[in-house]
């Protein structure tokens, strides 16, 4: 007797549901995307108990005739793909024809739809049609989902709490509203409105409706293009940063995606403007030929493959960095820095039972000494001597907006903050962070110009490695040589160091060299030379800079300010902390009740 048998259609749909329908937000996603593909301009999502009890989607799209409505619940029935070649020219959010039959197989579905004069009412339970009757005419579709996963207890058991399921749905609708600002979205839970957009078609207005004034008022419009991609949208000023990547919204051909290559490019563009553990708020829309992307690599269609990624990466980096260089990025000290958004972490990464109410705060971290054996305790260079060196550097770009602040030094607070003023208000400058930025750009230029001094060793340092590690170091030997090391092969699986850069701390030479070797071995082909050099230069700059709780003369403070004005990025220290904050005249008068609004 044959052991292999063809599965029933209902069992196929249940298996497909396990891939497509993971939680309540998955149902919301599939149904709302169907509404968008149907041309809806008003979409309302009504949830009961976060969707655990009921999910109802109402739209004003084209609707369906009775025949199409019944056929839509058959597996792989779709109006979006006709020929095999259409798979390479996908311009709709849905195309597989799996969502409706998958949802219907694990729930009770009630649908009223109409495309002409007579509507159709269908009721399906567990994949079986129980009601098929005429309905009143109302152009569009109303679809209601009850008892999700009632017949698949294993899946039902893994549904999370109401708040978690609700937060995922809210997060998705918010992101989708950025993709389609011309559509009016409304999401309610237990008759309470949680998301509502105007459908104005204005992306910045939609950002304001979702994130509020604090975020929308700090957004910068960007536009970029290559031969194959166009990009437009909004990026935040570095004063608005978040603790996770959830607010890096990327949209490709109208589809909200989570793509590591796009996220990496955006994060790298902010590399010198923020701490590594913080992430920007961006809403960027990309348009390209459908043949250059593949959306058919994941059941949820939320990840895609991109072609010509190197050109795209460079365009994103250059566009964002050029925009940031043009802006005056001094944060207002009294502007509300915290934004409370009841959103989950990245849906794919969330492991907790409850969504976390995240309070994102721009942290003004107090200066701490860097305990790093990589760098020697460099003797403090005098302000005047340092200025002479700094001014001798060639090709230094001056930030015109910052230079035009015309700051006048009036004192020092707590031996840490330089107090300045101009006609627009009061400024506080972190003396350590400011001088660290100056020293960072000074040392960075020295690195680029190969100005590192070396020290010859009386007794060479020998580093013995395993065969595999020896070969990895050999592959990246140019990195070590460029840092200023005189390194050669010596015997079996051994390298000998005959000279090293002068910035190595005395007595820790071998330890430092081994640390450098370890990082190269661990990273392998993913070794990021730019970031490695940046960490190294940042630590050198930190060691060279004046510490907190150090009293400075007016001349010394003025020299720090003047040098800071010559920096390419005067707004952040090498570790991403802000160098300067502003108290506007209005803020000061409001604090002292000179103005009452």
227-276 residue pLDDT tens: 889 999 999 998 888 988 889 999 988 888 888 889 999 998 998 888 88
In contact, 464 and 494? CB cutoff 8 Å: yes
CB-based contacts of 296-299 (< 8 A; 24+ apart in sequence): 296/87, 296/90, 296/95, 296/96, 299/19, 299/20
Report the C-alpha gap between 543 and 376 in whole angstroms. 8
99: its two tokens: 């969502």
- Choice among 328-337, 359-368, 382-391, 579-588 with the minimum mean pLDDT: 359-368
**What is the model's pLDDT at position 94?**
54
> Between 431-448 and 383-391, two packed helices, what is the crossing angle to 10 degrees?
40
Report the C-alpha gap between 408 and 520 in whole angstroms. 46
Report the C-alpha gap between 201 and 41 in whole angstroms. 11
pLDDT score of 392 more than 50? no
**Best CA proximity match to 39, nearest among 76, 75, 77, 80:** 80
Question: What are the φ and ψ backbone dihedral angles of 453, each rounded to 5 degrees?
Answer: -80, 150
Q: Report the percentage of the chain scoring pLDDT > 70.
A: 76
Task: Identify the H or E element spanning 511.
Answer: helix 509-523
Distances in whole angstroms, Cα of residue 255 to Cα of each of 174, 180, 230? 13, 9, 15
**What is the model's pLDDT at position 83?**
55
The arithmetic mean of pLDDT across residues 191-214, rounded, is: 93
**What is the model's pLDDT at position 23?**
82
Question: One fold for both 9-192 and 203-360?
Answer: no
Beta bridge partners of 488: 496
Report the C-alpha gap between 386 and 570 in whole angstroms. 17
- Choice among 175-179, 303-307, 498-502 with the minimum mean pLDDT: 303-307
**What is the model's pLDDT at position 88?**
52
Segments making up each domain of the chain, as ranges: 9-192, 203-360, 365-597
Beta bridge partners of 186: 44, 196
Report the C-alpha gap between 265 and 410 in whole angstroms. 41
The CATH number of the domain covering residues in 203-360? 3.30.230.10
Average confidence score pLDDT of the chain: 79
Report the C-alpha gap between 243 and 236 in whole angstroms. 14
Report the C-alpha gap between 352 and 22 in whole angstroms. 16
286: its two tokens: 């990309």
- How sure is the predictor about 283, in pLDDT bands with cuts at 50, 70 and 90? very high
Superfamily of domain 365-597: MutL, C-terminal domain, dimerisation subdomain (3.30.1540.20)
Q: Which of 147-161, 332-346, 417-431 ranks highest by mean pLDDT?
A: 417-431
What b/e readout covers 32-54, taking b as 16+ CB neighbours within 10 angstroms?
A: bbbbbbbebeebbbbbbebbbeb
**Best CA proximity match to 284, nearest among 348, 225, 227:** 225
Residues 6 or more apart in contact with residue 135 via CB below 8 angstroms? 112, 113, 114, 118, 119, 120, 121
**What is the model's pLDDT at position 587?**
85
Q: What CATH topology corresponds to 9-192?
A: Heat Shock Protein 90 (3.30.565)
Q: How far apart are the first and last CA of the chain?
A: 86
Instruction: Kindly report the length of the chain.
Output: 597
**What is the model's pLDDT at position 18?**
46
- Tokens 């707590």 belong to 414
Angle of CA points 120, 123, 127, to nearest 5°? 125
- How sure is the predictor about 347, in pLDDT bands with cuts at 50, 70 and 90? very low
139: its two tokens: 């152009």
Angle of CA points 356, 362, 368, to nearest 5°? 115
pLDDT tens digit sequence for 487-528 = 888 888 899 999 888 766 577 678 778 877 887 787 666 666
Report the C-alpha gap between 206 and 216 in whole angstroms. 9
302: its two tokens: 């939320």
Three-class SS state of 375 = coil
> Between 260-269 and 309-326, two packed helices, what is the crossing angle to 10 degrees?
30
| 184 compared with 339, residue with greater pLDDT | 184
Burial (Cβ within 10 Å: 0-12, 13-18, ≥19) of residue 188: middle
Residues 6 or more apart in contact with residue 112 via CB below 8 angstroms? 119, 120, 121, 135, 138, 141, 142, 143
DSSP 110-165: EEEEESSSSEEEEEEETTEEEEEEEE---SEEEEEEESTTTT-HHHHHT---HHHH
**What is the model's pLDDT at position 351?**
39
Q: Where are the alpha helices (DSSP H) in 327-459?
A: 383-391, 400-403, 431-448
106: its two tokens: 């694990």
- Tokens 């190595």 belong to 504
566: its two tokens: 């010559």
Instruction: Determine what percent of the chain falls in helix, strand and coil, rounding each to the nearest 5.
Output: 35, 25, 40
Report the C-alpha gap between 597 and 586 in whole angstroms. 10
pLDDT score of 425 more than 60? yes
- Choice among 415-424, 480-489, 503-512 with the minimum mean pLDDT: 503-512
Beta bridge partners of 486: 499
pLDDT score of 337 more than 80? no
- Choice among 21-30, 344-353, 587-596 with the minimum mean pLDDT: 344-353
């Amino acid at each position: 007797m044959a052991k292999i048998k063809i599965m029933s259609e209902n069992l196929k749909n249940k298996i497909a549901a396990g891939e497509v329908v993971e939680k309540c937000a998955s149902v919301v996603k599939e149904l709302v995307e169907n509404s968008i593909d149907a041309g809806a301009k008003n979409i309302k999502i009504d949830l009961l108990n976060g969707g655990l009890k009921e999910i109802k989607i109402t739209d004003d799209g084209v609707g369906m005739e009775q025949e199409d409505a019944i056929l839509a619940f058959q597996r792989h029935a779709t109006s979006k793909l006709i020929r095999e070649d259409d798979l390479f020219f996908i311009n709709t959010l849905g195309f597989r024809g799996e969502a409706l039959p998958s949802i219907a197989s694990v729930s009770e579905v009630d649908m009223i739809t109409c495309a002409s004069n007579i509507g159709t009412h269908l009721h399906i339970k567990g994949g079986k049609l129980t009601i098929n009757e005429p309905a009143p005419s109302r152009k569009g579709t109303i679809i209601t989902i009850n008892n999700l996963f009632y017949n698949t207890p294993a899946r039902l058991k893994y549904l999370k709490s109401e708040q978690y399921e609700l937060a995922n749905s809210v997060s998705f609708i918010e992101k989708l509203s950025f993709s389609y600002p011309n559509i009016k979205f409304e999401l309610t839970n237990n008759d309470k409105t949680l998301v509502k957009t105007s459908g104005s078609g204005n992306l910045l207005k939609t950002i304001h409706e979702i994130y509020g004034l604090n975020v929308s008022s700090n957004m910068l419009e960007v536009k970029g293009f290559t031969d194959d991609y166009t990009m437009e949208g909004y990026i935040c000023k570095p004063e608005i940063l978040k603790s996770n990547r959830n607010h890096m919204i990327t949209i490709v051909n109208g589809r909200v995606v989570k793509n590591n290559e796009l996220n990496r490019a955006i994060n790298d563009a902010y590399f010198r403007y923020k701490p590594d553990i913080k992430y920007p708020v961006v809403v960027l829309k990309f348009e390209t030929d459908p043949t250059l992307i593949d959306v058919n690599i994941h059941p949820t269609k939320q990840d895609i493959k991109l072609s010509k990624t190197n050109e795209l990466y460079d365009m994103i980096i250059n566009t964002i960095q050029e925009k940031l260089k043009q802006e005056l990025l001094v944060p207002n000290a009294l502007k509300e820095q915290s934004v409370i958004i009841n959103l989950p972490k990245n849906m794919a990464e969330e492991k907790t039972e409850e969504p976390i109410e995240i309070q994102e705060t721009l942290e003004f971290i107090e200066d701490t000494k860097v305990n790093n054996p990589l760098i020697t305790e460099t003797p403090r260079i005098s302000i005047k001597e340092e200025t002479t060196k700094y001014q001798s550097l060639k090709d230094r770009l001056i930030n015109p907006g910052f230079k035009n602040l015309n700051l006048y030094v009036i004192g020092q607070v707590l031996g840490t903050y330089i107090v300045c003023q101009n006609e627009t208000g009061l400024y506080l400058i972190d003396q350590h962070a400011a001088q660290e930025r100056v020293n960072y750009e000074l040392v960075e230029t020295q690195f680029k110009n190969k100005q590192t001094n070396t020290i010859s060793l009386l007794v060479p340092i020998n580093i013995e490695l395993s065969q595999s590690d020896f070969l990895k170091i050999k592959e990246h030997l140019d990195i070590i040589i460029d840092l200023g090391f005189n390194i050669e092969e010596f015997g079996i699986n051994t390298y000998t160091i005959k000279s090293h850069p002068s910035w190595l701390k005395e007595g820790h030479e071998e330890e430092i060299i081994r640390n450098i070797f370890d990082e190269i071995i661990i990273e392998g082909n993913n070794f990021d030379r730019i970031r490695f050099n940046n960490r190294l230069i940042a630590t050198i700059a930190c060691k060279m800079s004046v510490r907190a709780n150090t009293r400075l003369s007016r001349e010394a403070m003025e020299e720090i300010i003047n040098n800071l004005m010559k920096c390419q990025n005067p707004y952040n220290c090498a570790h991403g902390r802000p160098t300067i904050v502003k108290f506007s005249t209005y803020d000061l008068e409001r604090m002292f009740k000179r103005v009452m609004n």
